[in-house]
């Protein structure tokens, strides 16, 4: 008789292994533990046993029942867990509590922005901010950028509201708004607000009508810099930028200024750098940012006398710095929020 019980347990295990759904499970359970189930029927056999045999059979019966019940319980849990996952459709459920030990980290762009700010703070720069929706005047006119400059074309700049409605807007407000194409507008906003001497950096978001690819994004980040004082020279500009870039890329870094053009600086330069810390890139000159001496026309537009005041300005892309610093080959990684990417920078120093 006790061997029969063992056989029932073995059989129950085999049945449970086949179970795939809750209804399968209920049927399987009934076939063992239900009124006509194999174990229930076997239990009735106790009546045919002698008094002496009954206790040990009773014990074996209890054990078998416990074992079978626990097998069914585990099996039901597995079925329910599976059903939960299915109903979530493998999507992330944001209402679930976070997995234990999970610590968030700063986004690599935030991290690089903070690092840039902290370096300039050491040499007396403060942070200035302005709006992302700008008037055309602050974004272009005040920066000596003429009406026919390509940057002002609707192909390059996001007008706000869209260019198609622009004619009506112009009539109503006299001035079009744009999503700022660079942080240089903060130069003007600051100069109108604060009397020089001043040193500011202005990190922030910029927008251009760029087709997204590995190095372009319609939405990206820049840091502007502006230094206005008396008798400022290109050597001051080079000294400040060299200090900044060495703090970022290491002391063995070399820089060079290459003549360039920006409407609001004169003369204007591109800054190139070369640094042994940059691995594969270490033998190349890499273009890193634009800069120049503030154009006297800009100073006049904000009512400063260019004979008394002068200065320099520079602008750099935060994504570009982060890509060079960390060897990232595609700008789109920054915006996709893939944790496998982000986790690599959560503890970056």
Where does this chain bind ligand PHE (CB under 6 A)? 182, 184, 224, 262, 265, 290-292, 313-315
- Report the residue number, 8 or 191, with the smaller CB distance to ligand PHE: 191
Taking the C-alpha atoms of residue 144 and residue 335, their distance in angstroms, rounded to an integer, is: 33
Which residue, 136 or 224, is less far from ligand PHE as judged by CB? Answer: 224
Kindly give the residue spans of alpha helices, DSSP state H, lying in the chain: 2-18, 22-33, 38-44, 53-88, 108-122, 136-139, 166-173, 185-193, 234-249, 296-301, 318-326, 333-336, 339-342
Distances (CA, A) of 28 to 40, 42, 43: 13, 16, 18
Check if the beta carbon of residue 143 is closer than 8 Å to that of residue 187: yes
Provide the 10 A C-beta neighbour count for residue 193: 11
Separation of alpha carbons 219 and 179, rounded Å: 10
Query: CB of 176: closest distance to ligand PHE in angstroms?
Result: 19
Please, what is the minimum distance in Å from the beta carbon of residue 187 to ligand PHE?
A: 7
3-state secondary structure (DSSP) of residue 84? helix
**Separate counts of helices (H) and strands (E) for the chain:** 13, 10
Instruction: Output the smallest distance, CB 262 to ligand PHE, in A.
Output: 4
Cβ distance to ligand PHE smaller for residue 25 or 262: 262
Q: Which is nearer to ligand PHE, 61 or 191 (CB)?
A: 191
Tell me how far, at minimum, the Cβ of 216 lies from ligand PHE, in Å.
Answer: 13
Q: Could you tell me the smallest distance in angstroms from the CB atom of residue 344 to ligand PHE?
A: 28
Packing angle of the helix pair 53-88, 22-33 (nearest 10 deg): 180
Smaller CB separation from ligand PHE, 184 or 217:
184
CB-nearer residue toward ligand PHE: 19 or 226: 226
Other beta carbons within 10 angstroms of residue 253's beta carbon come to: 17
What's the closest the beta carbon of residue 298 comes to ligand PHE, in angstroms?
10
Closer residue to ligand PHE (CB): 206 or 248: 206
Q: Compute the least distance from the CB of residue 106 to ligand PHE, in Å.
A: 25
Could you tell me which residues are beta bridge partners of residue 255?
273
Which two three-digit tokens encode residue 279? 């691995």
Q: Which is nearer to ligand PHE, 69 or 242 (CB)?
A: 242
**Closest to ligand PHE by CB, 182 or 199:** 182
Structure tokens at 263: 């409407």
Nearest C-alpha neighbor of 335 from the set 349, 310, 318: 318
The residue number with the shortest CB distance to ligand PHE is 315
Nearest approach in angstroms of CB 265 to ligand PHE is 5
Least distance CB 341 / ligand PHE (angstroms): 26
Distance spanning both ends of the chain, measured CA to CA: 72
Report d(CA 274, CA 283) in Å as an integer: 7
Q: Check if the beta carbon of residue 227 is closer than 8 Å to that of residue 236.
A: yes
């Amino acid at each position: 008789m006790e061997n029969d019980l063992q056989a029932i347990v073995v059989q129950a295990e085999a049945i449970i292994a086949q179970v795939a759904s809750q209804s399968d499970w209920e049927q399987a359970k009934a076939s063992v533990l239900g009124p006509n189930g194999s174990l229930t029927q076997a239990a009735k056999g106790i009546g045919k046993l002698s008094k002496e045999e009954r206790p040990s059979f009773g014990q074996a019966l209890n054990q078998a029942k416990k074992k079978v019940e626990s097998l069914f319980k585990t099996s039901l849990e597995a079925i329910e867990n599976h059903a939960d996952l299915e109903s979530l459709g493998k999507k992330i459920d944001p209402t679930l509590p976070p997995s234990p030990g999970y610590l968030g980290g700063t986004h690599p762009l935030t991290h690089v922005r903070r690092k840039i700010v902290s370096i300039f703070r050491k040499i007396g720069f403060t942070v200035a901010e302005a709006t992302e929706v700008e008037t055309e005047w602050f974004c272009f006119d005040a920066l000596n950028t003429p009406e026919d400059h390509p940057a002002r074309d609707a192909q390059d700049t996001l007008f706000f509201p869209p260019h198609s409605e622009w004619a009506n807007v112009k009539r109503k407000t006299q001035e079009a708004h744009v999503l700022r194409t660079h942080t240089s507008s903060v130069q003007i906003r600051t100069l109108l607000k604060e009397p020089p001497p001043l040193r500011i950096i202005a990190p922030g978001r910029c927008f251009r009508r760029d087709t997204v690819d590995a190095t372009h994004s319609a939405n990206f980040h820049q840091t502007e810099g502006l230094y206005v004082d008396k008798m400022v020279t290109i050597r001051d500009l080079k000294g400040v930028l060299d200090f900044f870039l060495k703090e970022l890329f290491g002391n063995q870094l070399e820089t060079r200024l290459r003549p360039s053009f920006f409407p609001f600086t004169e003369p204007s330069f591109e800054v190139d750098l070369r640094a042994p810390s940059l691995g594969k890139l270490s033998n190349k000159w890499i273009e890193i940012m634009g800069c120049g001496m503030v154009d006297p026309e800009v100073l006049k537009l904000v009512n400063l006398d260019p004979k008394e005041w002068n200065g320099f300005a520079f602008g750099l892309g935060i994504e570009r710095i982060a890509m060079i610093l960390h060897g990232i080959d595609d700008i789109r990684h920054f915006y996709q929020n893939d944790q496998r990417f982000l986790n690599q920078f959560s503890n970056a120093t």
